[in-house]
Structure 1
């Protein structure tokens, strides 16, 4: 007494002919899960990359008109505005309780306010391209630090290969490996 299923074009089984069930224990027919239509992940990834990459250009432009801490404040206000709009759109509430807000304040300070300010101050003297590339190395340094600091994070061949490939990619972008590379960055202390 089971339902006969046949795959739909997406390969998800659907109920073709449910078996008769007793009136007291009626089982609803199996239906295909609703598929959420949205942008392809590659399009979303490209948009995210543009937003993330342009942030360093915007910091550079911002530091020409504003003080670095004002640029940081602007970034945090715009970020908070996006979060508030998201909360309203999803009809969710802000978290409650002093403990969670304390944790959020520490995370905001260490993961947003301090790094944003340091990048804004750095871009007073270095190109935005170099700042973006340095930021791109964060996962690589984090992985190396976790291997040193955490006993359970032991290096494996795969992890070492991943870090090596990551650093090689950074070197290629910096133009260290090739002569006359368009990505070559010329920087002299004191020059923007």
Structure 2
């Protein structure tokens, strides 16, 4: 940005958990229109420092269970799971049938995943729903790691949820520094060959 090397003062991230050959794309200075479908919804940053936005509420079984009066969240590719205040995550794990493990992790029965509830994050006027197939991490045993972890991360605006890679792998994420806003759209699956990846990277610079 300081050297004016970018077409736009933004970067966008597409994450893919379904293909070992293509992990995703980081695009500096623009948006890859081939990697999402539908409109991009723009959410204003509520506090500079992190990419912090406002959550209207969080639903489980279609009912508001958390943040009934709104709360704050960070969209963060540096966090693998979705995290929230310890008391809320404990309740959430009970709602999805999670069994506590060590280090604040929880597991669910792999065979029962399809019967688990979805978790919906309402941001602005739109619902962003994570299905159980998307928030569980398959393991080599009969138990699968549930992708929600407690983290008591407090700021002057209160406790924060972190919408990490599990969330971002479903929603194409745009970080617009010029307008201090985050854009979210439904990700489109795409498989890249090694040659395609080389071309896309070289075209950035």
Alignment TM class, shorter chain as reference: under 0.3
TM-score using structure 1 length = 0.25
Q: TM-score, normalised by structure 2?
A: 0.24
More strand by share: 2
Larger RCO, structures 1/2 (Cα 8 Å, 6+ apart): 2
Query: Going by fraction, where is helix more abundant, 1 or 2?
Result: 1
Larger-gyration structure (1/2): 1
